[in-house]
Amino acid sequence: MYLTTFSTLHHLPLADILDTIRQLGWGGAFELLRNGIVLGSLYALIALGYTMIYGILKLLNFAHGEIYMVGAFLGYGVLSILGGPLAPAIATVPLILLMFAGGMLGAGVLGVVVERFAYRPLRNAPRIAPLITALGVSFFLANSVLLLTHGQRYNYAAYQLGGNPDNGLPGPLVDSAFSVLGRPVTVVQVLVVSSAIFLMVALTLIVSRTKLGKAMRATAFDREAANMMGIDTDRVIAFTFLIASVLAGAAGVMFGLYIGETYYLMGFLAGLKAFTAAVVGGIGSIPGAMVGGLLIGVTESFAAGYVGGQWSDIVVFAVLIAFMLFRPTGLFGTRAIQKV
């Protein structure tokens, strides 16, 4: 009976998955974990924006993925203006810093402009109105970039930064920074994760230790009361959008450096997955967005690695559905108690 059961098991997809796990071994598992953490760091940065804006305005800003996309394009723009990856006008480190600056500042300004002209006039409208507007802004931004770029895909080709343009040998970004179980962790992967951690820590400090952060928390808790206490909530909300968009812009530049490609639709799927991460972590919770992002990234990576590339999105959104059914408040969210 045991043998019969085993041979039946062999014909199931589960057998293929177990086979793959065995074949990839611990080294492969580490690679998938590494990939997932890098990807998850990007999702976490975008998810933070979703969660901050939801926390303060109860608005799901579906245009946030497009802010990330614009940040990626701005970073590419800075790279192009400064000579491109093969013949940059300045050294690699300051070039990368300028790319971040361009992407983050540009995305930040865009986020503030969107809030001012698309969402603020609807502050007191029924909640569906800004939600629909957010969708509209998303399409507007994506199609604007489409018109400007004619749908072209642009490749950062950051692996060539600092490399040899004559023979195409790559630069230091793809060098191995260190190895685990014989599998390399490249310089760019370390850069992405460490930058994401730095930004998350900076955000946490701003929110918990500064006066503006206190004002943000007060506005998120009760906007009316915060107003009455003398807080300029319009300014606080604008600042929240600024920070959220700066983080998304940073994620866009990091994606460009790590993966390479920018195109007008890249914000759509990334935005959805980051939204999933924010929900899984507990929408409105900053630590939740960070953990949710990492969880989604790792889940996606393991699904792609052990089950197959075509399964990764299915698994990610299945996780979302599962959380909605069994833990709708997410990992760190709490049920709100409203006094009636």
Partner 1 sequence: MRKLSIVAAAVALVGLVAAATGAGQAQFKPAAANNAANALVKCGTTRTIGVAYPATGPAASIGVFQIHWAQFFASQWNKKHPKDKIRIVQGDTQLPDTAKALAVAHSFASNSSMLGLVGPAGSQEVQDTAAVFKGGGLAMVSGSATRITLTRAQSGHARDTPVGYFYRTVPNDGQQGDRVASWISKKMKKKRVYIIDDQESYSTGLAEQVENNLRAAGVNVNRDSVSQQISDFSSVITRIPSNTQVVYIPWQLAGKAQLFYTQLRAAGKSAIVFGSDGTFAPGTFTGAGSYVSSFPVDYNSPALKAFKRQHGGQDEAFGLPTYTAALVNATAIMKACKNGTASRAEVRSWIKKTILPKAQTLLGFPVKFLSKNKGKQTGSGDMGGTADFGIYKIAASGKYNRVG
Decide: is 312 part of the binding site for partner 1 (CB under 8 A): yes
> Which one among 98, 177, 190, 265 touches partner 1, defined by CB under 8 A?
265
Residues facing residue 169 across a β-bridge: 164
Decide: is 305 part of the binding site for partner 1 (CB under 8 A): yes
Decide: is 153 part of the binding site for partner 1 (CB under 8 A): yes
> Which one among 90, 93, 125, 269 touches partner 1, defined by CB under 8 A?
269
Please state the closest distance from residue 31 (CB atom) to partner 1, in A. Answer: 5
How far is 252 from 13, CA to CA, in rounded Å? 36
End-to-end alpha carbon distance in the chain = 62
- Structure token digits, residue 112: 């503030």
Decide: is 293 part of the binding site for partner 1 (CB under 8 A): no
Please state the closest distance from residue 275 (CB atom) to partner 1, in A. Answer: 16
The answer to whether 323 and 288 are in contact (CB under 8 A) is: no
Nearer to partner 1, 131 or 146 (CB): 146
> Which one among 105, 184, 317, 331 touches partner 1, defined by CB under 8 A?
184
| CA trace torsion 144, 146, 149, 151 (10° rounding) | 180
Decide: is 230 part of the binding site for partner 1 (CB under 8 A): no
Decide: is 24 part of the binding site for partner 1 (CB under 8 A): yes
Decide: is 148 part of the binding site for partner 1 (CB under 8 A): no
Decide: is 152 part of the binding site for partner 1 (CB under 8 A): yes
Residue carrying structure tokens 């692996």: 159
Looking at beta carbons, which pairs linking 116-120 to residues 24 or more positions away fall under 8 Å? 116/238, 118/63, 119/57, 119/59, 119/61, 120/234, 120/237
> How many residues of this chain bind partner 1 (CB under 8 A)?
45
Decide: is 241 part of the binding site for partner 1 (CB under 8 A): no
